[in-house]
Amino acid sequence: KNEVEQSPQNLTAQEGEFITINCSYSVGISALHWLQQHPGGGIVSLFMLSSGKKKHGRLIATINIQEKHSSLHITASHPRDSAVYICAVPKNTDKLIFGTGTRLQVFP
């Protein structure tokens, strides 16, 4: 069993739909990262959270430490949101463990 698991692996949506991507982990953490990888390959950090909820524009990330689960929500999805979304968890202060990613395609 992977230490960080994401679901679904692939997701298609119509523009405007509400999107949820899930991440479950088995390692102890101090902060969970959500990252976005665009079709061109570049990776950017979206959120880093250790409790509760964070919001940035149409993106919302939540985490439940007790259940070892985090979700990334996208409201009013747009084709430009099409990307691979990756969650990552520090195994200790020096090493990140990554999920395999969720490939999202949003169609107009």
Are the C-beta atoms of 57 and 75 separated by less than 8 Å? no
The least CB distance from residue 35 to other proteins, in Å, is 8
With CB under 8 A as the contact rule, which of the stretches 11-19, 39-47, 51-59, 70-78 interacts with other proteins?
A: 39-47
The least CB distance from residue 95 to other proteins, in Å, is 6
With CB under 8 A as the contact rule, which of the stretches 15-23, 41-49, 52-60, 75-83 interacts with other proteins?
A: 41-49
How far from 108 is each of 20, 34, 44, CA to CA, in Å?
18, 25, 24
**How far apart are alpha carbons 17 and 80 in whole angstroms?**
13
**How far apart are alpha carbons 73 and 100 in whole angstroms?**
18
**How far apart are alpha carbons 18 and 78 in whole angstroms?**
10
Asked if 59 interacts with other proteins (CB under 8 A), we say no
Residues of span 75-104 touching other proteins by CB under 8 A:
86, 88, 90-101
Question: Which stretches of the chain bind other proteins, using CB under 8 A?
Answer: 2, 4, 30-31, 33, 35, 41-45, 48, 86, 88, 90-101
